[in-house]
Amino acid sequence: MIFSFDDFRVHDVKGHRFLAKFFRQPTFCAFCKEFLWGFGKQGYQCQSCQTAVHKKCHDKLLGKCPGSGRNSESTIVSFKNLIHI
């Protein structure tokens, strides 16, 4: 299997962080509602909210990522501050 360099990049779209992935179980594309699975093709999955999309669909997605929103790092920082108190 040969991957292009692009397959290892994180694609930022509206807060989503899409990374190329092979889907081992039936998964629907969040944009066109078609199966991502069963064609031997890979799609993208968001690292924050687990939204799955086809490669051709990932930049057409209209919804913002609910998972990352305000970056998760600030959440971790404030949590650390709580522990200090």
Q: Candidates 6-14, 26-34, 76-84: pick the segment binding Zn ion (CB under 5 A).
A: 26-34
Binder among 52, 54, 58, 61 for Zn ion (CB under 5 A): 54
The per-residue DSSP string of 14-67 comes to: TTEEEEEE--SS--B-TTT--BSSSSS--EEEETTT--EEETTTTTT--SPPTT
Q: How far is the CB of 15 from Zn ion (least distance, A)?
A: 6
Q: What is the DSSP letter of 82?
A: H
Contact status: 58 vs Zn ion (CB under 5 A): no
Interaction residues for Zn ion, span 27-46 (CB under 5 A): 29, 31-32, 46
